[in-house]
Amino acid sequence: MKRCIAVLAGIAVVLFGIAAAAGTLHGNPPVPTDNPMMRDKVELGRRLFYDADLSVNGTMSCATCHEQKHGFADGNRAHPGALDDPGRRNVPGLANVAWFPRLTWADPRQTSLEAQIAVPVFGEHPIEMGMKDHEAEIARRLERDPCYVEMFRRAFPGDRGMIDYLHVAKAIAAFERTLVSRDSPYDRFVRGNVDAMTPLARQGLQIFQRDCASCHAGPDLTDAAYHRIAPENVPPSTDAGLAEVSGDRSDTGKFRTPSLRNLGVTAPYLHDGSATTISDAIQAHAAFAAIRTSDVDTLGAFMETLTDQSFLAEPGLALPNQACGRPL
């Protein structure tokens, strides 16, 4: 009996520690005052997220690279753009992006979902959707569809349903704020359901808190800060990471700590997709290159609990099959 109480007390202490460290109090994400959340806007944004008309040759939507079944990442090392330019970096998942203060692997200027959308749509390094110099074409294509006209009118009544890139970006950003993933076994464990994680996974969590949570911190397992995990002596790669933006050589090879949510379905890993498995990704951290295999396995059991099956299957986030009361 005494032992049982001690074990229970131990679990309570661990749970309390996690709840405090992981910040179960994530609350609502910040929403810009000029783009309030509205159901009709989210529905429009969802349709646009899946619409290949946002790419130059009609072949590529946001969802081509950000697939729900992969936690809105994809299964490739990197994904080529609409014109077959090779991708430079691994596609990150989009779970809980609404809470991220800095977006993308290594560009601290990307602080808003609305603004980040210009990178895939208009960006040239690499070309993704290829719409640079074709901004007006986006409006022309969407205006041809009477259902879009109706959806923009409902989503932006104050702007009389204005169809242009700015409103496209606002609607997509509103949809992205609904990509909320907080029902993994780990979340349920943090909310007090001890059985949601196996004893091995709980042991993994303890190692994780000791060795990993300084960077993979908080409810989304990222401190949103930039670190170099590669050994100092590796030859310089073509991707200098943060240094490309900051111009500071000491930032070479630094990348934003990725969120580990839905890790079970977001392989391959790291900014260049060079790690095929979770253990490869762990061993790519110079600090853990010599980590014990048994610890990797134990950590792996914990990391499997970060995958949220309900998020991967949530119909409200999937390709819509209806709009304006009609099948699409």
Which residues of the chain form contacts with ligand HEC (CB under 6 A)?
A: 54, 60, 62, 64-66, 79, 81, 87, 89, 91-92, 94, 97, 100, 103-105, 113, 116-117, 120-121, 128-129, 172, 176, 211-212, 214-216, 227, 229, 255, 257-258, 260, 263, 266, 269-271, 278, 281-282, 285, 288, 299
Nearest to ligand HEC of 190, 278 (CB atom): 278
Smallest gap from Cβ 301 to ligand HEC, in A, equals 11
Nearest to ligand HEC of 42, 91 (CB atom): 91
Phi/psi of residue 103, each to 5°?
-105, 160
Nearest to ligand HEC of 56, 62 (CB atom): 62
* Token reading at 207: 């190692």
Smallest gap from Cβ 276 to ligand HEC, in A, equals 11
Nearest to ligand HEC of 163, 270 (CB atom): 270
Smallest gap from Cβ 194 to ligand HEC, in A, equals 22
Smallest gap from Cβ 196 to ligand HEC, in A, equals 20
Does the bond joining 32 to the residue before it have cis omega, within 30 degrees of 0?
no
Nearest to ligand HEC of 6, 312 (CB atom): 312
Smallest gap from Cβ 176 to ligand HEC, in A, equals 6
Nearest to ligand HEC of 114, 183 (CB atom): 114
Smallest gap from Cβ 244 to ligand HEC, in A, equals 9
